[in-house]
Amino acid sequence: MQCLEERLQKAEKSYVLWTNQNPTTGFESQNIELNSNDYDYYEVLFIEQLGSFNNLLSTGKIPKGRNTTLITTTNYANTYPQIFRREVNYINASSLKINNGYYQSCNSNNRSSNNQIVVPYQIIGYKTN
């Protein structure tokens, strides 16, 4: 019983740090303010591309203080595979910069800007007791 109590005390709590108020429109590069700085890890939930809201993806848990990348691959229009990505820069405990999205075909070295892809939807904070 004591082991179970110890595990419950160490249980992780999660809460929403930020929500995109317009998840059906393009997302331009911007700094966002989180509603708390009391977290140990954060996770960014994002939409692969506008119009495919059912395809919600995740970065997984990122330690506080670290940058991350929203990234996915797709076989767009049955052509070459493409990489969709968007960088997230940690500014401080209550602020992140989410950069413009872009895609790159696997058969090309050129990147194309596109703010209709890898659109951030929500940021979840995790706190370990």
At 32-60, the pLDDT tens digits run 999 999 999 999 999 988 876 567 788 88
Q: Tell me the average pLDDT of the chain.
A: 87
- Pick the closest to residue 95 from 34, 51, 18, 43 (CA basis): 34
Do the strands 117-128 and 41-49 form a parallel or antiparallel pair, or are they unpaired?
antiparallel
User: Distance (Å, rounded) from C-alpha 4 to C-alpha 18?
Assistant: 32
Q: Is the pLDDT of residue 8 over 70?
A: no
- Pick the closest to residue 32 from 43, 45, 41, 20 (CA basis): 20
Please report the pLDDT score of residue 105 as a whole number: 83
Residue 58's contacts (CB-CB under 8 Å, 6 or more residues apart) are 43, 44, 45, 46
Share of the chain above pLDDT 90, in %: 57
Q: Which two tokens mark 37?
A: 């700085």
User: Distance (Å, rounded) from C-alpha 58 to C-alpha 3?
Assistant: 32
Please report the pLDDT score of residue 82 as a whole number: 83
Q: Is the pLDDT of residue 109 over 70?
A: yes
User: Distance (Å, rounded) from C-alpha 67 to C-alpha 6?
Assistant: 32
Between residues 71 and 19, the one the model is more confident about: 19
Residue 84 and residue 48 in contact, taking contact as beta carbons nearer than 8 Å? yes
Q: Is the pLDDT of residue 9 over 60?
A: no
